[in-house]
């Protein structure tokens, strides 16, 4: 029947009715909080393009982890800023790398029993040139050499898993990196370590603030030869299929907001856990609107995250994790 017998507004009349029939739920345990680790002690350096986000020494990161655990947040996603960079990204895979130090320290805390520790696996923060793989010169400039990069990525993942990462998350977009990481983890007795693959990571303008946070801007060229073209949905689904064939246990979509259709298509295609990353540009764009008074802060934070969940993401990496957890606990 149509109107007037059928009135859709009947179930919207009160908050309790709206809550009863709500289709998409968002819980603090669905959220992953990214942290940027750097050497030192007592370091909490503000990131100018990301209000409320900091580069942290390990001791400060432990405080953040404790707060995240108390808020019921599901986990942490760890990035590193090394003391020194080189062409072989030594800081990424060295036993005493900054993220490795952070993982070992976190594993000694009570918070680690409540949080999943996810270690990003990439080389861009650690290479002197800022690219996600080994760079070679070519006749017309340079290229990121895929196959030699796989060895460094696999070494990085194994080092991070040994240091205590519950999950390793390759974000480099080199072909074959999931298989290389799975083989190296298994060879080193780390068969229980899951791989969360950034299966479809797009070359996006929305990464800009992250490059300040992680000091990872390319020194020349760009990353469009290995990160995906934002126009390609079918190619993204091929990337997902290939990564799962190579042994990925979970997949991650990045960015989230401009690619909600990719999250939905992935959800309809595969039955593995799917995450999405509400990236730095999405966060900073909203923060700028809040500062201007153009958007209701609390409502916009939750609405942006519910939209990502509604599209099909099981969990969301977001710099709003603590803010959202507090709002959800009200």
Q: How do the domains of the chain map onto residue ranges?
A: 26-328
Q: What is the homologous superfamily of the domain 26-328 according to CATH?
A: Aldolase class I (3.20.20.70)
Q: What is the pLDDT of residue 181?
A: 98
Q: What is the pLDDT of residue 216?
A: 83
Q: What is the pLDDT of residue 82?
A: 94
- From 85, 107, 113, 254, the catalytic residue: 254
Please say if 137 is a catalytic residue: no
- From 107, 201, 292, 322, the catalytic residue: 201
Find the DSSP H helices in the chain: 15-20, 58-70, 90-93, 98-107, 146-163, 177-187, 208-213, 233-246, 260-269, 280-292, 297-311, 321-328
Q: What is the pLDDT of residue 164?
A: 98
Q: What is the pLDDT of residue 294?
A: 98
Q: What is the pLDDT of residue 27?
A: 97
Q: What is the pLDDT of residue 19?
A: 95
* Nearest by Cα to 222 from 276, 143, 152, 164: 143
Contacts of 90 (CB under 8 A, 6+ apart): 84, 126
Ranges of residues in the chain with a pLDDT under 70 are: none
Q: What pTM did the predictor assign?
A: 0.96
Please say if 113 is a catalytic residue: no
């Amino acid at each position: 029947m149509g109107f007037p017998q059928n009135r859709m507004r009947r179930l919207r009349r009160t908050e309790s009715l709206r809550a009863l029939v709500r289709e998409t739920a968002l819980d603090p345990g669905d959220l992953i909080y990214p942290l940027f680790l750097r050497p030192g002690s007592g370091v909490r350096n503000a990131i100018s393009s990301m209000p409320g986000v900091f580069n942290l020494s390990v001791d400060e990161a432990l405080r953040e982890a404790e707060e995240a655990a108390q808020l019921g947040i599901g986990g942490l996603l760890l990035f590193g800023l090394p003391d020194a960079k080189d062409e072989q990204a030594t800081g990424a895979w060295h036993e005493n790398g900054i993220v490795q130090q952070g993982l070992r320290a976190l594993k000694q805390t009570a918070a680690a029993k409540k949080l999943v520790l996810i270690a990003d696996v990439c080389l861009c923060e650690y290479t002197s040139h800022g690219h996600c793989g080994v760079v070679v010169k070519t006749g017309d400039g340079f290229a990121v050499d895929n196959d030699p990069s796989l060895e460094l990525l696999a070494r990085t993942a194994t080092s991070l898993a040994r240091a205590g990462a519950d999950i390793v998350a390759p974000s480099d977009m080199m072909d074959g990196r999931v298989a290389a990481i799975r083989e190296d983890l298994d060879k080193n007795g780390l068969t229980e370590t899951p791989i969360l693959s950034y299966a479809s990571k797009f070359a996006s303008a929305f990464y800009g603030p992250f490059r300040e946070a992680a000091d990872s801007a390319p020194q020349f060229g760009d990353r469009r030869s290995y990160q995906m073209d934002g126009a390609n949905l079918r190619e993204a689904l091929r990337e997902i299929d290939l990564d799962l064939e190579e042994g990925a246990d979970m997949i991650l979509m990045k960015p989230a907001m401009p690619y909600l259709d990719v999250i939905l298509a992935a959800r309809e295609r595969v039955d593995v856990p799917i995450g999405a990353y509400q990236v730095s540009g999405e966060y900073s764009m909203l923060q700028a609107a809040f500062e201007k008074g153009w958007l209701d802060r609390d409502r916009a934070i939750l609405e942006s995250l519910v939209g990502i969940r509604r599209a099909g993401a099981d969990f969301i990496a977001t710099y709003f994790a603590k803010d959202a957890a507090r709002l959800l606990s009200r």
